[in-house]
Amino acid sequence: MTLPIADWLTRRPSQAAINRSQVARARDLLARIDEVFDQRLVGQDRLRTTLVRTLMAGGHVLLESVPGLAKTTAAHTLADAVAGKFARIQCTPDLMPNDIVGTQVFDHTTNTFSTQLGPVHANLVLLDEINRSSAKTQSAMLEAMQEHQTSIGGVEHPLPDPFMVMATQNPIEEEGTYVLPEAQMDRFLVKEVLTYPTTEEEVEILERITSGRMTAPLTAEPIGLDDVRELRALTDRVHVDTEIKRYVVDLVSTTRGGGPRPVADLRRLVRVGASPRGAIAFVQLAQAGALAAGRDYVTPDDVKDTRYAVLRHRLVRSFEALADDVPAEQLVDAVFDAVPVP
């Protein structure tokens, strides 16, 4: 039962393994990205790691937190770190799909239509408060994320390469919001939940603001878009052993109530488990994590390190779990505790 899915986990045909010089090259590029983040972002190490590894894996990220926890700053910093075109879209209930993807404008002087591309045609797009936009607008954005192109007036326009969406949502305000359906949530490679900074980090934020360091010109040298494409190509070539693939498939199967050692009462708490996209996300992020650690192969710890980000938005909790306030992270831990590590 596991073999067809395990074989499907490889995104591209088998390629030659990367060598030590290529691993060192990747580490050098990632170090330059870190230097930019060090200058602009205080704390939020998990957010930084998630953004960079999602970029390496070629996916999109959903960020959830209360306002003011540097989501916009982190997204803008990532764009600066890779010298990419950045666009921020503030979602509101009256935002229309054309406001995102673009539209055709009629020129009365020439009696012709010209195409104006929307802000989604950027390398890194921050979709702020995605749950405030209507379902129709959410659908248009998620289609662009999946297809990497937009259609305006019957003409297809490819999105830039690389292309990455960072969507945010506020968990404490529900009035005037449109909750993302589970099927659309699954389109995001990861979901990261941000927490408040420590006291020391918050003091450092104030120090940087009052001294002007927060807005000072970058002294670190960013990498280029060609470097990002190189990182993605190297990430794809990180070796994933068949046993690791079986481990990933067993984890995903366990979220559905199966697996080698089914978790007691999980079916009562989880209405729908992770789809094969969850298994693919585990492999892609594990490859990125291994490369960032200076390895050309994936270990079980690379998979475990991404467990919450990959599964927290893919486990559809039952009414009973929601009523008892059972966090998704607790269910994820139960799954990982049950599956034997290769």
Q: pLDDT tens digits for 9-68?
A: 444 444 667 888 999 999 999 999 999 998 888 888 889 999 999 999 999 999 988 777
**CA distances from residue 79 to 16, 88, 225 in whole angstroms, order as listed:** 30, 11, 10
Q: pLDDT tens digits for 197-239?
A: 889 988 988 988 888 887 788 888 899 999 999 999 999 999 9
Q: What is the pLDDT of residue 57?
A: 94
pLDDT at 254 over 70: yes
pLDDT at 99 over 70: yes
> Average of pLDDT values for 136-149?
83
**CA distances from residue 261 to 1, 133, 322, 334, 336 in whole angstroms, order as listed:** 15, 41, 24, 11, 10
pLDDT at 1 over 60: no
* pLDDT class of 174 with cuts at 50, 70, 90: low
Q: pLDDT tens digits for 277-336?
A: 999 999 999 999 999 999 999 999 999 999 999 999 999 888 988 888 889 999 999 999
Q: What is the pLDDT of residue 175?
A: 54
CA atoms within 13 A on the CB side of 155: 10
Q: Which segments of the chain are extended strands (E)? A: 61-64, 86-90, 102-107, 112-117, 124-128, 149-152, 155-158, 164-169, 190-193, 270-272, 316-317
Q: What is the mean pLDDT of the chain?
A: 86
Q: What is the pTM of this model?
A: 0.87
Q: pLDDT tens digits for 274-289?
A: 989 999 999 999 999 9
